[in-house]
Every structure is written in structure tokens, then in C-alpha cells.
Amino acid sequence: MKRRKKGQEKLPIKHWSHSSLMAYLRNPLAWYKRYVEKIYDTPSTPASVVGRAGHLALQYFYSGVRKEDAIQKGLESLRMVADFEIDFGRAKTRHAKKEKRKAMEQEYLRAISYYLKRPPRHKVLGVEVRGVTKVEGLTLPVKAVSDLVVASRVESGAVDIVDHKFVTAFSKKGATKTLFIIQAIFNYYTVEELFAAPVRRFIVYECKKTKNVDGSAQMRRYEIDFRKCSEDFLVFHHLINDATAEISRRRVYLPNPSDMFEGENSFDIYRLGLVGG
């Protein structure tokens, strides 16, 4: 049997993704449960269920399906989500949950209609593009899913990455938002390898789910130009390597009760000793 070198620990995951990195930074114990133990029993918020339905509708639309059919595909996927998979919050009774689901459907239909009323047009090269790639200088590979990969309009022969988000409020920092930049770099590396072409931009379309009372646009577009992100790439590498070093050592994973998404669940796991550290 091959022995590991002194001080070298077996890593508990095979790769980093944007979602797993954010989960680790937010709540290490919830991250351990999901990405190491592979336990996926945490209910989704209504907003995330609506968002997934919207993404699915756009996946069909940009694959060439008619607008009306794409909308219906998203609606059907929302309706197929079982009650136990949704965190209804204060809605505890059967009637309350039924009303909440009705509101979720209305929110989905409103949001996807806003987007598809005048959908952005691209020369689409790939839809729901998944990839895992090894990056020089990083111990673990990175994984990403790109909503769309399209021909770049600002550089011949290059590609752009398009990401869709369904939100209750527009992001204040736009293209300078740290979450967008970290996600963009994950996608950059996987798309660069899969398409063997220069990756120029990461374009985010935010679609606001609630109607603006002042009649202003329901969508905003943010653009990250990778040619201007050299410092961000350095920070990204430092962050990934530091996170990898953290998970490589023996440790006890502690809960974060203040986490608005999984705080209570992570504390229950800790209290009951359901997963190891």
C-alpha cells in the first residue's frame, strides 16, 4: 500500500465549485454534510425553487424550444417539487402551503414573462455547459456549470459566458460584486478548456421577480471583462488554496447558527452528532 507523505492528508472532496466554496465559507458543518457526506435532505427555499424553474425554462428556450413551451416546461418542473423538499417557513398548514405554492407559480410566471418579453439574443454555442478542469497552481480541480456559452461580440473567435439570476432586488455593486467575480472565474477555467478558445466576458442578467411600480426595466445586465481581472485571479487562487489547506487538516466542523439558510439545520446536526468531523 502506498503511504502518504508525512503531513499529507487525504482531501475530503474531489473538486471545488462556486456553490461548494460559498457553502464552506458560510457554514462549514452544512458544507461537510452536503459535499463530503453527500446528504441532500435540506429543503430548498421557495425562491430557489422558482429560480431553478426559471433556469430550466431558459435552458429549453435557448436550445430552440418555442417560448410558450419553454415556459410550460419550467412550470411543470416547479409543480413536480414535493412539499417536503420546500422550506415553507411560517406556512405550516395544508391550506397555507397550497397558497404558498400558488404564489410561487405566479412569481415564476411573472419573472419568466419579464425575461422572455424581450430576451437577449446571442449566437449560442452551448447550453447548460458542465465542466471539471485542473488549473495550474491549484491542488484540486474546479467545476462549473455555465447557463450559456456564446460567441463574443467584442472579440472575434472568443466566447462569452452568460449567467441568469432571478432576484427580488437588483445587486447594488453590479459587476464588481465579489460573488459574481468568484463565480465568473470558476466558469472561465472550465469553458476555456471545453471550447479551446479565449474567454472574454462573463455576462450576468438579473431578472427582478416583483414588478417595479415606477415602470422601470425588470432586467439588468452586468459585464465582467476577464482582461481586467488579473488581480481577481490572484485572489481567487489564494482563496482556493487557503480553503483547500483548511479542509486538508483534521478538524471539528462547527455550526453557524446565524446562517439564514442552513443555520438551524447545521446546529441540529451538531447537537445530534449526525456527521463526523
pLDDT digit string (tens) for 137-163? 999 999 999 999 999 999 999 999 999
Mean per-residue pLDDT over the chain, rounded: 90
Band the pLDDT of 82: cuts 50, 70, 90.
very high
Please determine, for residue 74, whether its predicted confidence score (pLDDT) is greater than 80.
yes
Answer yes or no: is pLDDT of 6 > 60. no
> What pLDDT does 258 receive?
62
Q: Is the dihedral of CA 63, 19, 154, 205 positive or negative?
A: positive
- The per-residue DSSP string of 15-80 comes to -EEHHHHHHHHH-HHHHIIIIIS----PPBPHHHHHHHHHHHHHHHHHTT--HHHHHHHHHHHHHT
Angstrom CA distances, 159 to 46, 162, 251, stand at: 33, 10, 42
Q: Which domains does the chain have, with CATH numbers?
A: 46-117 (no CATH), 124-240 (3.90.320.10)
Residue-level pLDDT at 4: 47
Banded model confidence at residue 98, pLDDT cuts 50, 70, 90: very high
Please state the pTM of the whole predicted model. Answer: 0.87
**Which band of pLDDT confidence, cut at 50, 70 and 90, is reported for residue 16?**
very high
Is pLDDT of 224 > 70?
A: yes
Of the candidates 220, 202, 62, the residue with the CA atom closest to the CA atom of residue 144: 202
pLDDT digits (tens, 9 = 90+) for 125-136: 999 999 999 999
Q: Residue 274 above 60 pLDDT?
A: no
Q: What is the rounded CA–CA span in Å between residue 267 and residue 277? A: 14
